[in-house]
Amino acid sequence: MACLSDLNDDVMLWVKRLGHASLSLLKKLVSKDLVVGLPSIKYHDGKVCHACARGKQVENSFKLKSCVSTT
């Protein structure tokens, strides 16, 4: 129980602790009181942590060719 206590209730800290859960899921957990010790702080949907943004990033597609390479 001591490892989950935090003096400043940082939103991104709770995102990391709960396995990079989405902020909409955190809102639901707070509203239904499903997690013991989860503070009722404001979760803004537009905010994304760096690790979540990197995980959702897709690679660029292949470059277009100017000539036909099949025969």
21-71 pLDDT tens trace: 888 888 888 888 888 888 777 766 667 777 887 887 777 777 888 888 887
The Cα–Cα gap between 8 and 5 comes to 9
What is the 3-state composition of the chain as percent helix, strand, coil, each rounded to the nearest 5? 35, 0, 65
**In the prediction, which pLDDT does 6 show?**
47
Query: Would you say residue 11 has pLDDT above 50?
Result: yes
Q: Domain residues of the chain, as ranges? A: 8-38
**In the prediction, which pLDDT does 48 show?**
75
Query: Would you say residue 3 has pLDDT above 60?
Result: no
3-class SS letters over 4-19: HCCCCCCHHHHHHHCC
Query: Would you say residue 1 has pLDDT above 80?
Result: no
